Amino acid sequence: MNEHVQGAGGDPLFNPLSPDFIRDPYPHYERLRTLDTIHVTPFGQFVTSRHAEVSLVLRDKRFGKDFVERTTRRYGPEIMNEPVFRSMSYWMLQADPPDHTRLRGLVVKAFTARRVEDMRPRIQEIVDQAIDAVIDRGHMDLIEDFAFRLPVTIICDMLGIPEEHREVFYKSSRDGGRLLDPVPLSAEEIKQGNAGNLMAQMYFQQLFELRRRNPGEDLITQLVQAEEDGNKLTNEELTANIILLFGAGHETTVNLIGNGLLALHRNPDQLALLKARPELMEGAIEEFLRYDSSVQMTGRVTLEDIDDLGGVTIPKGETVLCLLGSANRDPAVYPDRPDRLDVTRQNVKPLSFGGGIHFCLGAQLARIEAEIATATLLRRLPDLRIDDVENPEWRPTFVLRGLKRLPASW
Ligand code: HEM
């Protein structure tokens, strides 16, 4: 650990919102892994970048979320009066056991491998419709016209959001990503977060009312019934976790598809290989997850003093950041040129979905969505070309890594 280590030219080693970092974080990760394996940020967070420490922190019970305590320490005690932070404090993603176990247990059945397998025909139908809508045009934005519609439609189906309400979600701005970045929000960003959160709360409260009167086969009906059951979950937990599922269900998968397509088109040999051998697709999705993860980081808090994390002592109550995108390129685990995209790579086990008790609930769903979307695109538009593979426009967020747009023609 060295609080003052800087990169060549004096630039800070970890400045995740700088344009250079957003464009290509990987050289920065390599410097962290080699120069300062447990780096301390100006905000006092401990940054892990090697696979060994990232993986340990995610799975070890001495690290937890402690959301209210951690957030209050960062922003002051008033912060929990802000609706957006209050709402996040009820997310299973931010909860520790036993609350975490209870909340996750209420929805986990909807995401089992079997349930997700059954969704294949519906996923295929949505992907085909998206291509049908643009095929005569000869060009599209792969993000807006293709990658985005699929996960939004699927999570709307799962939650039971009526068709006639969906257009607003297709048009929504996807600006919530800043909430997850490890750089504190400005007062203006908190205000925007509150406005978005209150709108979502208002919408879902009405939908809960509808499902109480008119139950369906969907997740919202299931959770509304759990709420009515008595002490399984409170109304605030219900609303917050529906907002979480809705956001987690689309902000991430759209970027897995987009980042994967960009990586393929930047590596024409791999693109040609995958077109020639579609049976490689399942492994290719794992490689896309590893190569350029749509979630780059998560974090934990030390629940007790830690005497040795990568040779460093960390007192109780400190924040530890886990750079998933960096662990995925650690040569200690991927000795064969980790910076290369290789759709035939063996033993790819990316940390992109996290690990331990918070392991992504939607992992299998995201994999199948990406698999069907990518395979169908390569099959139906075999001569598709991305207009500018060298300088695509990235969204300005770090934790959620993805493209603003990706225009392509055929
Ligand atoms: C490529 C797509 C996705 C990626 C890379 C991703 C990544 C992650 C990661 C890294 C975590 C763990 C965070 C932590 O340990 O602190 C997580 C948790 C979670 N994800 Fe995903 N996710 C994806 C798609 C989805 C989808 C499609 C859904 C739901 C429809 C979803 C729902 C969740 C939920 C509910 C949690 C919290 C689980 C818990 O706390 O127990 N994710 N995801």
Q: Which helix (H) or strand (E) holds 393?
A: strand 393-394
For 23, the token pair is 């464009």
Write the CATH number of the domain with boundaries 8-409: 1.10.630.10
The domain segmentation of the chain, as residue ranges, is 8-409
Most informative mutation of 349, 353, 369 for ligand 1 (most atoms within 8 A of CB): 353
* DSSP secondary structure string for all residues of 93-154: GG--TTHHHHHHHHHGGGGSHHHHHTTHHHHHHHHHHHHHHHTTTSEEEIIIIIITHHHHHH
Q: What is the CA radius of gyration of the chain?
A: 21
Q: Report the nearest atom of ligand 1 relative to the CA of 250.
A: 27
- End-to-end, the C-alpha distance of the chain in Å comes to 50
Most informative mutation of 238, 321, 358, 360 for ligand 1 (most atoms within 8 A of CB): 360
pLDDT at position 232, please? 86
Ligand 1 centre distance from Cα of residue 245 (Å): 9
User: How far is it, in rounded angstroms, from Cα 243 to Cα 191?
Assistant: 17
* DSSP secondary structure string for all residues of 178-233: GGGSSSPPPHHHHHHHHHHHHHHHHHHHHHHHHHHHS--SSHHHHHHHHHHTSSS-
User: How far is it, in rounded angstroms, from Cα 57 to Cα 234?
Assistant: 30
pTM of the full structure: 0.95
User: How far is it, in rounded angstroms, from Cα 361 to Cα 178?
Assistant: 21
Burial 307-339, CB ≥16 within 10 A → b, else e: eebbebebeeebbbbbbbbbbbbbeebbeeebe
pLDDT at position 228, please? 84
Q: Which helix (H) or strand (E) holds 46?
A: strand 46-48
Of all protein residues, the one whose alpha carbon is nearest to atom 31 of ligand 1 is 362
Local mean pLDDT, 10-residue blocks, the chain (410 residues): 51 90 97 97 94 98 96 92 95 97 94 94 98 98 95 95 85 71 88 91 94 94 87 91 90 95 98 97 98 97 97 96 98 97 97 98 98 98 97 95 97
User: How far is it, in rounded angstroms, from Cα 201 to Cα 203?
Assistant: 5
Torsion of CA 97, 315, 180, 96, to 10 degrees: 0
Ligand 1 centre distance from Cα of residue 368 (Å): 14
Q: CA 180, 51, 12 angle in degrees (round to 5)?
A: 60
Whose CA is closest to 373, among 160, 122, 171?
122
pLDDT at position 183, please? 83
In single-letter form, the type of residue at position 224 comes to V
Ligand 1 centre distance from Cα of residue 259 (Å): 17
